[in-house]
Amino acid sequence: MKKDNEMQHGSMTMHDHQMDMHSMSNEAHDMGQAAMQDKQDTMATMDHHQMQHGGHDHMDMMDHGGQMMHMGNMRLKLIVAVILTIPLLILTPMMGVYLPFTVTDRPGQSWLILLLGSIIFFYSGSPFYQGARGELAARKPAMMTLITMGISVAYVYSVYVTIQEMLHPEQMGMNFFWELASLIIIMLIGHIVEMNAVMRAGSAVDALSDLMPDVAHMQMQDMVHDVPTNTLAVHDRVLVKANERVPLDGMIVEGSAQIDESLLTGEVALVAKKTGDDVVGGSLNGNQPFVMMVTKKADAGYVSQVQQLVAVAQKNKSRVENLADQVASWLFYAATMIGVLALIIWTVLNGMSFALPIAVTVFIIACPHALGLAVPLVVARLTGLAASRGLLIQNRTALEQVDRLRYVVLDKTGTLTEGKFTVQQVVAYNDAPESEILAQIAALEAGSVHPIGQSIMAYAQAQQVPVPSAENVASITGVGVQGTINGQSLKIVSGQYLQEHGQSVALLTGPYTVSYLVTQADEVLGAIALGDQIKPQAAAFITALQARQLIPVMLTGDNEQAAQAIATELGITHVEAGLKPEDKATRVQQYQQSGLVMFVGDGVNDSLALATADLGVAIGSGTEVAINAADVVLVNSNPIDILALLDLAHQSNRKMKENLAWGAGYNVIAIPLAAGLLIPFGFTLSPMVGAIIMSLSTVIVALNAMTLRLKENV
């Protein structure tokens, strides 16, 4: 497990932490069943199409209907459309104009045009129909529905005109096959640009599943059989070997262990467990095997509950509509109402033959060429600039809310601190040199696979201290470790142990994990203090957030003393410690009642809060679970990069709004004109003029997107 933080192995806070973690573990098994059932019911009844609403931000196009369109399929449809549009361009007037290379009056030409247009429409245009079906099922018509309306009207009317020409050659009409093909090509390009720009977010739920071992060692009649974990039943006995993960939630029935429960707290702390104590599935066993009895099946355990909560949180977040869909929704309703009114009014006034081309022009002019590129071009520019700063954007829709952020909620270990425990101090309580104390402690920790022991060994090597060999090294449950060095029996114990045994030695204080070296008779020889380091950029980051009127909040699974010490040094006044994953998510929801929340974290225990927050940012050096649950990943793990993210998001939101204004503004003017608003004054907007204006609008949004810049001084 990734987080290295306030490790309690042999530390002054081990006893207290043991009791706290025991309580946490029990709470994890019994946590809010009624509330959990409510959340599960919500997930079951939530409209499937709404849950997938913003999904085409992924490399696999999740359209609004929940249909999966792989990038390769999208590219193939684009290639087919481009290839078939070339002969279509040669055979068909472009925007109503016969170009020098336009071929006319060839036998079967109308049938060939109809065939080419039909293939483009039915094959290359199919993704938009899938998306429109989902939007309409969710009762939220948006971009896909608007595109579908435009290409459908263009195709049906073009088929009608083609048939009329073949039946009545003297009645030449104008088809819209060129406009249909160009719209499909532009919109496919827009979606592919956006999908290329935004990396595919992994599944946090799947990553949580990876915490659970696939195979468990089931004990039957003094024999051990390896069986799939998901086949275990309640009351089955399971052997958990040293350095293995606990397969399911259960209770120790034989032996004792030191368990790393950082998936609960985010803190890699070895918690002493004895017979009768509960253990949580997914937690990591130390170097002592034990036998447990399963108390909850795989689908009812703690990790399973967190999985369900993360899934609900991610799907709830995905229901946020992006700006382009909102504008497209308004435009769809406007074009539909105006087009139908134009058809009715002009039919009454001048007959159907006069009214039909006007209504068709309205629907086709509403085709969102510029609107479809307004956002993808900005997203492509945004993600490129962000990547150059070490920011990987996994869900750009979440970034559209950055202008309304009020709270920046931060994990402590690995986010504000380095997440790496290093030796801060070595103290000798007798006449022995400090190097000797260090050497003896390192000797007892030499065989440890836990980060605290490895940190001590690394420090001893860096100080070039010779480490003697220790014999008969063994863990002391709830205390520390013991062994023999050069014939002398020594122990590493916590400060709590010394107090309980009446030692009056002055204990080291501060936000450190402190271990004491004592003789078998409990005479204190020395001490070693380890602590996490605040990241060099953390203080400047907090100051910058406060200057932007954002409120920093620290939520951590660590103990109160360590959390307050870090918060005080950084100037953070909102602090809560000792939190489990569901506690962090609950606090995020509470803050959301007063404003939008960004959460920054890196541990398994942060995944639920990352998915719940309006904008989740994962530290790049963090766990896969956290990274998959986040909207943005900080590759360089530097909190200052979040400031660059905020600036880029502010700028890109402004560019998107400007582009959408251009794209929609064209339609606001063109649609009423196409509906015949100025026909009484002798002015009619032809499709050709509308197409020219549309093309200019597309160029404008492309140029505007390229003006997005990354500030060098951030």
Active site residues: 411
Q: Which two tokens stand for residue 710?
A: 């990354």
Number of H helices, E strands in the chain: 25, 24
Residue carrying the six token digits 């260090």: 438
CA distances 103 to 50, 93, 160, 457, Å, are: 47, 9, 21, 82
Q: CA-CA distance, 587 to 606, in Å (whole number)?
A: 12
Query: What DSSP line would sit under 130-162, residue for residue?
Result: HHHHHHHHTT---HHHHHHHHHHHHHHHHHHHH
Q: CA-CA distance, 460 to 463, in Å (whole number)?
A: 5
Helix, strand or coil for residue 276? coil
Calculate helix-pair angle for 143-167, 352-365, nearest 10 degrees: 140
> For strand 215-220 and strand 270-273, is the pairing parallel, antiparallel, or unpaired?
unpaired
CA distances 101 to 89, 92, 113, 162, Å, are: 9, 10, 16, 21
Q: CA-CA distance, 487 to 482, in Å (whole number)?
A: 13
- DSSP letter, residue 97: B
Helix, strand or coil for residue 556? coil
CB neighbours of residue 70 within 10 Å: 12
Q: How far is CA 108 from its chain centroid?
A: 54
- What would the 3-class secondary structure string for 380-433 be? HHHHHHHHHCCEEECCHHHHCCHHHEEEEEECCCCCCECCCCEEEEEEECCCCC
Q: CA-CA distance, 301 to 285, in Å (whole number)?
A: 17
CB neighbours of residue 214 within 10 Å: 11
Q: What are phi and psi of 308, to 5 degrees?
A: -65, -40
Judge whether 356 and 371 are in contact, CB under 8 Å.
no
Query: What DSSP line would sit under 695-706, residue for residue?
Result: HHHHHHHHHHHT
Please give the sequence-ordered ranges of beta strands (E in DSSP) within 546-679, or none if there are none: 551-555, 574-576, 596-601, 615-619, 632-634
- DSSP letter, residue 121: I
- DSSP letter, residue 245: B
Q: CA-CA distance, 67 to 272, in Å (whole number)?
A: 49
